[in-house]
Amino acid sequence: MLTVGTKAPEISLPDKEGNIVTLSQFLGKKVVVYFYPKDNTPGCTRQACAFAGAFSEYEELDVVVIGISKDSVASHFKFAEKNQLPFILLADPERKAIQDYDVWQEKKMYGKVSMGVVRTTYLVDEQGVIEKVWPKAKPDSNAAEILAYLRK
């Protein structure tokens, strides 16, 4: 897990339309970068919909929201359309950003151990430095927790 004060690794991945988006293009703004396991699964859908529901509040604060998973561009497009997601979704099937941000980890589910994306959210400040980390983020409360932190 990356820590507060660390320079955020550059991200350069395709969005749901296939356009390359980089983290550095948002220098000067705070950026929420949240990593989630899979499109169209219950927890990931709840988390995405919570960010969508709070999106206007993030916009008022001039904060960019980016969701990243290892799903494809096509999967992200369908996921965003189905759930009316107004924020950026980036496809990372090669797990470049997922590994750079140290969220590809061992997971235990029903006694079975496997590797996967651990739901994690980073807040990157205006200079591209990690300001806050939410490890093992909760799908239902993550978006609200970040807003509360931003408003403190």
- Known catalytic membership, residue 49: no
Compute the Cα dihedral for 108, 109, 114, 119 and give only its sign.
Answer: negative
pTM comes to: 0.95
Query: For 12-151, which CATH superfamily applies?
Result: Glutaredoxin (3.40.30.10)
Distance from C-alpha of 27 to C-alpha of 24, rounded to nearest angstrom: 5
Give the position of tokens 């099937």. 93
Note the pLDDT tens digit of each residue in 45-91.
Answer: 999 999 999 999 999 999 999 999 999 999 999 999 999 999 999 99
Q: How far apart are the first and last CA of the chain?
A: 24
Q: Catalytic: which of 11, 13, 21, 44? A: 44
Q: In 3-state terms, what secondary structure has residue 121?
A: strand
Note the pLDDT tens digit of each residue in 108-141.
Answer: 878 889 999 999 999 999 999 999 999 989 999 9
Q: Which residues pair with 63 in a beta bridge?
A: 30
